Copies of this chain bind each other. A is one copy, B any other.
Amino acid sequence: MHSVRAEPDPAPERAEPGEHVCVLGTGLIGGSVLRAAAAAGWSVSGWNRTPVDHPDVSTDVAAVLARAVAVDALVVLAVPMTALEEVLRDVAEHAPGCALTDVVSVQAPVDAAVARAGLAARFVGGHPMAGTSASGWEASEGTLFRGAAWVVAADDGLDTAVWARVARLALACGAHVVPAAAAEHDAAVARISHLPHLLAAVLARVGADGGALALGLGAGSFRDGTRVADTRPELTRAMLEANVPALRDALDDALGRLGAARGALGSTGSVAATITDGHVARGLFTDHIRVDITGVDLTDLAALRAAGRAGGVLRAL
């Protein structure tokens, strides 16, 4: 495996003959997977608890999973964490041998639920880093994942044939694949997604406690810093509460740094260290360059994880 500087993401990868994806839960994310895969030439089917306006999506989970077995589909778990156990029971009953992945978000609790359902052997976790504040089938669209990162868990012991199929699905959706250990994924999203939601909530409250005067003076920095607090609170809660240990670590880091800033304000009155360092760190984000992972060898998952850790992505397989 070696890396070269990455180009913009190529067009979504076309399906090979016979590729079939079966999406369980066709809300914003699942519906978008189904639409994107269909547009790339995959044969598709889906189940949803409530009817949706698509000929290949049914509310009959047994029938949907029987068809998944018949066509050797890749089954995608795309329900909220709260509905996962029930759907896993259906899979265990009707399609226990199918290749299985998920697009739920945090990996650790999904891994645990899949293991409890006896489905770990053919499961490879996934997480497309895309979404909007909207939700439901009506909000789904086939272009949602274009240019987005799609983490595919690369822990030792997984079924490499399933890994390749999940990666091909991500590429079909126009995303690039980021290989990572499940725990590394959860730690990373705590820092760059879950902590921002917590800080936005607290900032919104501290601003609002300044009353109508403060609210009327709020401009760019306050608007940007609080924007994600617009998200429906039950969605934010579900996301954050599925990742408590990693979020706790990220919050402890933030609290340590804010405490240091508070100490400096109280003693020297300077915020130089905090502000200068934050500016440097922001530059690392805006200047971040993704490198292409090429010559992938799925028998060496440790090397694949190391490449992902170093900022590598797959745009073809």
Q: Which residues of A contact B (CB under 8 A)?
A: 129-130, 148-149, 151, 178, 180, 184-185, 187-189, 191-193, 195-233, 236-237, 240-241, 244, 247-248, 250-255, 257-259, 261-262, 265-266, 269-272, 274-279, 281-282, 284-286, 288, 290, 308-311, 313
Whether B210 contacts A193 by the Cβ 8 Å rule is no
Whether A262 contacts B255 by the Cβ 8 Å rule is yes
Whether B265 contacts A244 by the Cβ 8 Å rule is yes
Whether B199 contacts A225 by the Cβ 8 Å rule is yes
**Beta-carbon nearest neighbor of A151 in chain B:** B217
Q: Bound complex: CA of A184 vs CA of B212, how far in Å? A: 11
Given the known A-B contacts A218-B285, A244-B265, A278-B201, are A227 and B224 also in contact in the complex, defined by CB atoms under 8 Å?
yes
Q: Bound complex: CA of A229 vs CA of B266, how far in Å? A: 22
The residues of B that contact A269 with a CB separation of less than 8 Å are: 241, 244
Q: Which of B200, B201, B211, B257 contacts A205 (CB 8 A)?
A: B257
The residues of B that contact A203 with a CB separation of less than 8 Å are: 195-196, 199, 254, 278
Rounded to whole Å, the gap between the CB of A188 and the closest CB of chain B is 4
**Beta-carbon nearest neighbor of A277 in chain B:** B205
Rounded to whole Å, the gap between the CB of A66 and the closest CB of chain B is 36
Q: Is the interface of A mostly helix, strand, loop or mixed?
A: helix
Q: Which of B257, B308, B310 contacts A206 (CB 8 A)?
A: B257
Whether B308 contacts A197 by the Cβ 8 Å rule is no
Whether A222 contacts B237 by the Cβ 8 Å rule is no
Given the known A-B contacts A191-B207, A250-B206, A258-B202, are A228 and B220 also in contact in the complex, defined by CB atoms under 8 Å?
yes
Q: Which of B151, B192, B262 contacts A222 (CB 8 A)?
A: B192
Whether B276 contacts A233 by the Cβ 8 Å rule is yes
Whether B217 contacts A192 by the Cβ 8 Å rule is yes
The residues of B that contact A259 with a CB separation of less than 8 Å are: 255
The residues of B that contact A193 with a CB separation of less than 8 Å are: 217-219, 221-222
Rounded to whole Å, the gap between the CB of A32 and the closest CB of chain B is 15
Whether A309 contacts B252 by the Cβ 8 Å rule is no
The residues of B that contact A252 with a CB separation of less than 8 Å are: 262
Whether A253 contacts B178 by the Cβ 8 Å rule is no
The residues of B that contact A250 with a CB separation of less than 8 Å are: 206
Whether A282 contacts B196 by the Cβ 8 Å rule is no
Whether A217 contacts B229 by the Cβ 8 Å rule is no
Whether A217 contacts B309 by the Cβ 8 Å rule is no
Taking A198-B274, A203-B254, A255-B259 as known contacts, 12 extra A-B pairs with beta carbons closer than 8 A to each other, sorted by chain A number, are A187-B214, A204-B285, A209-B281, A224-B224, A226-B282, A230-B282, A231-B279, A232-B279, A233-B279, A248-B265, A248-B266, A258-B258
